[in-house]
Amino acid sequence: MSSKLVVSTSPHVHSSFTTRKIMASVILSLIPAGAAGVFFLGFRSLLVIITCIAACVLSEWLWQIIMRQKRTVSDLSAVLTGLLLAYNLPPTIPLWMAVCGSVFAIIVVKQFYGGIGCNIVNPALAARAMMLISWPIAMTTWTVQGVSGPTPLAMMKLGNVAMSSATTTSTGYVMPSFLNLLVGNMGGCIGETSAILLLLGGAYLIWKEIISWRIPVIYILTTVILASLFGHGGHFPLYEALTGGLMLGAVYMATDYTTSPMSAKGQIIYAFGCGLLTALIRTWGGYPEGVSYSILIMNIAVPLIDKYTEPRVLGAPKSNFFKRMEAK
């Protein structure tokens, strides 16, 4: 035979996307929101971003040297983890805390489980949760142009919601206008303040087919509708959608390939669960925000969601959830 038949394992359909290209596209889409954070929250935001990225990259590089593993720093996944962690931190956070969070994200959450593609929860969100438990005051101190004050979500938690910046709440604070909510001129974490730039970044990723529209759209709509029905913040859906980390979490955290479901049906269930938990925590929880913990909880549920929403094998008989449970 002049030619041989080559038999190999799946996948047989190849894509032009590589891990490095995907990570680079996500990083590129995040840059405008970070620039807005630096502009409105001060130059120190840039120091936090640089610190987190450098600490994440260095942690991964040193760990792989020590463990004699293949170096994967060039795939940019550590850079993206550092960037996302920085975007979830206030600009006033001490830099040594940012380093601790970065090391935790890379070593404990990512490398302990086998590296990229093996972690069971989002590394940046897990690090943020660890830091919030360890240093609650530093993680919840917000400033805008050097002036400290509560975030819009904190005021909504107390029911102090105004329709415009011309209205002052009962505590003496002024709620940002819808324009300021859109562009990011308000207190909060570095990368979560500018809703319009996060939405544009998400639209770019959907257009490039890097993420699906299902998770961010269903997550945001579920949170807004349920929180409004629950009476959080005085029934103002726009405030609910544009404040806090909802946009950042829905577009960039919940859509993480490793920690989100693979099937369309699973993604819908997962996104609804994230939205439900976020609305519940924002309304009745101890924290004004609920995005981080909601996504982390649903990350843990992803294997179960994948198990019961996996597509039927071509030619296999139809089955349902109850038949599977009876078989056990």
Q: Which of 233, 232, 236, 250 is nearest to 192 (CA)?
A: 250
Q: Give me the amino acid identity at 111.
A: Q
Q: Give me the amino acid identity at 108.
A: V
- pLDDT (tens, 9 = 90+) of the chain, 328 residues, equals 456 666 666 666 666 778 899 999 999 999 999 999 999 888 999 999 999 999 999 999 999 999 988 888 889 999 999 999 999 999 999 999 999 999 999 999 999 998 888 899 999 999 999 999 999 989 987 766 555 556 677 666 665 444 444 344 444 556 677 788 888 887 788 998 889 999 999 999 999 999 999 999 999 999 999 988 887 765 567 777 888 889 999 999 999 999 999 999 999 999 999 999 999 998 888 777 889 999 999 999 999 999 998 876 666 666 555 455 555 5
Q: Which of 124, 117, 130 is nearest to 81 (CA)?
A: 124
Copy the structure tokens of residue 145. 């142009």
Cis peptide before 311 (omega within 30 of 0): no
CB atoms within 10 A of CB 225: 14
Copy the structure tokens of residue 60. 């991964």
C-alpha distances (whole Å) from 315 to each of 79, 211, 263 are 43, 29, 18
Q: Which of 186, 167, 153 is nearest to 40 (CA)?
A: 186
Q: What is the pTM of this model?
A: 0.85
Q: Which helix (H) or strand (E) holds 285?
A: none
Domains annotated for the chain, with CATH where assigned, are 19-139+150-308 (1.10.3430)
Angle between helices 44-66 and 95-103 (to 10 degrees): 30
Cα 258 to Cα 120: distance, rounded to the nearest angstrom: 7
